[in-house]
């Protein structure tokens, strides 16, 4: 029986971030024993992925940042180009493997974090803590006991919500023989893509050097596309919209992010908690997750190091979640789409809009953004939420 003060199940962004913050506590804070349980290489580990977020100045994970930008550009559906300098914010991109390597190096220097490869099969709340039952990669049983357990594994199914859309995307990391990209400016959203009947689509370009970039197509809609369809729309965006020449494809990424107004359970037993996307860290109206995870994990780590109950807080405020529910309903009903976002970027300063999308604005700033939205469609969508039932959503 392994024993620890804290057990973390799953080594994604949330699990690794929590282990990192507990690995080297500041002077005068509690030093806790930590057990990090990560699934062995195989289907339970997620593929390589890219996280984007914005923050002012330097952050905890800047050594893992692939690239960052203070100039962001948006193309409206009508083709208008809007470029903004977002200081004091920086828009940052982190590859998951770089993030994992950074955290792994830190954990190797720690004497209070033990990392184990095993598949957690059950987490059982008991008096004064919890038990974890699982198996190692060679089939040996694993049993661990901890005072607090934080489970960051993806949920098997989504909780019931009134509206659920899928943010699904396909991107290519490309290389050019010539310096054709501007590494000082990122294309945040380009709405000059074919729009679905429900939801919206956009492309974006994140240049990491004059010759390298991530070019991606993203869609918010109820249904996924086929692999051939993703390739077709991405090729159309790269060739016909951006006018780029044939480029060498270095690697690709494909993913699905559920966007739902469903409530997420953050506590499953007195000493067992969910964290990260499994605890609702994904912003329902945008799909951004990484920054909300960091805010949630910072609160949890501070509570643990101070000897307080570490129940994770909601990753987004009640006001933000209410606005997101209206937005999702408006997108799902087809009342708003790409023109809605184009209008916002045209009339709202981008730095303020980014803070709004991150849930960091105050009430009067939210109202200032709200008056730039189509009032009647949004009011109708809000009214419908009063009687829409919550239904389970099949896993994509």
Kind of pairing between the strands at 113-126 and 71-75? unpaired
For the four alpha carbons of 103, 108, 110 and 114, in that order, the dihedral sign comes to positive
Prediction pTM value: 0.94
**Is 65's pLDDT higher than 70?**
yes
C-beta of residue 220 within 8 angstroms of C-beta of residue 169: no
3-state secondary structure of 326: helix
Kind of pairing between the strands at 89-95 and 65-69? antiparallel
Q: Which helix (H) or strand (E) holds 365?
A: helix 363-370
Q: Which residues partner with 120 through β-bridges?
A: 134
Residue range 200-233, pLDDT digits in tens: 999 999 999 999 999 999 999 999 999 999 999 9
**Is 396's pLDDT higher than 70?**
no
* Helices (runs of H) and strands (runs of E) counted in the chain: 9, 17
For residue 166, what are its two tokens?
Answer: 């899928």
Question: HEC string of 194-259?
Answer: CCCCCCEEEEEEEEEECCEEEEEEEEEECCCCCHHHHHHHHHHHHHHHCCCCCCEEEEEEEEEEEE
Residue 369: which of 306, 320, 329 has the closest Cα? 320
Give the C-alpha separation, 289 to 293, whole Å: 6
Residue range 90-118, pLDDT digits in tens: 999 999 999 999 999 999 999 999 999 99
Q: Please provide the average confidence, as pLDDT, over all residues in the chain.
A: 93
**Is 373's pLDDT higher than 90?**
no
The CA-based angle 42-48-53, given to 5 degrees, is 140
Residue 317: which of 252, 378, 366 has the closest Cα? 366
pLDDT value of position 395: 62
Residue 54: which of 365, 350, 367, 370 has the closest Cα? 350
Range among 31-45, 265-279, 354-368 with highest mean pLDDT value: 265-279
241 phi/psi in degrees, rounded to 5: -90, -50
């Amino acid at each position: 029986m392994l024993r620890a003060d804290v057990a973390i199940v799953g080594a994604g962004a949330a699990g690794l971030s929590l282990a990192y913050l507990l690995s080297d506590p500041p002077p005068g804070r509690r030093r806790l024993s930590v057990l990090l349980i990560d699934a062995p290489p195989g289907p339970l580990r997620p593929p390589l992925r890219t996280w984007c977020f914005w923050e002012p100045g330097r952050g905890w994970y800047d050594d893992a940042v692939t690239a960052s930008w203070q100039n962001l550009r948006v193309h409206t559906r009508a083709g208008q180009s809007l470029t903004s300098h977002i200081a004091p914010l920086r828009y940052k991109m982190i590859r998951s493997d770089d993030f994992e390597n950074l955290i792994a190096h830190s954990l190797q220097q720690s004497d209070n974090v033990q990392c184990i490869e095993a598949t957690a099969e059950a987490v059982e709340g008991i008096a004064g803590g919890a038990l974890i039952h699982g198996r190692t990669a060679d089939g040996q049983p694993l049993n661990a006991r901890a005072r607090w357990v934080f489970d960051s594994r993806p949920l098997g199914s989504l909780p019931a919500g009134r509206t659920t859309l899928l943010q699904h995307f396909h991107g290519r990391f490309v290389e050019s023989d010539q310096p054709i990209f501007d590494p000082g400016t990122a294309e945040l959203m380009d709405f000059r893509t074919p729009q679905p009947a429900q939801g919206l689509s956009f492309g974006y370009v994140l240049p990491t050097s004059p010759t390298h970039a991530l070019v991606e197509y993203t869609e918010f809609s109820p249904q996924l596309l086929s692999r051939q369809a993703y390739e077709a729309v991405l090729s159309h965006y790269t060739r016909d919209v951006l006018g780029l020449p044939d480029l060498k494809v270095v690697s690709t990424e494909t993913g699905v992010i559920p966007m739902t107004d469903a409530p997420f359970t953050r506590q499953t037993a007195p000493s067992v908690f969910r964290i990260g996307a499994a605890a609702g860290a994904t912003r329902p109206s945008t799909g951004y997750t990484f920054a909300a995870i960091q805010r949630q994990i910072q609160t949890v780590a501070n509570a643990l190091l101070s000897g307080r109950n570490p129940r994770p807080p909601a990753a987004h405020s009640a006001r933000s979640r209410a606005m997101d529910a209206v937005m999702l309903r408006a997108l799902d009903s087809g009342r708003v789409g790409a023109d809605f976002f184009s209008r916002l970027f045209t009339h709202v300063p981008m730095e303020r809009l980014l803070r709004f999308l991150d849930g960091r604005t105050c009430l009067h700033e939210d109202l200032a953004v709200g008056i730039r939205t189509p009032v009647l469609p949004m009011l109708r969508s809000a009214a419908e939420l009063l009687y829409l039932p919550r239904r389970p959503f099949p896993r994509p």
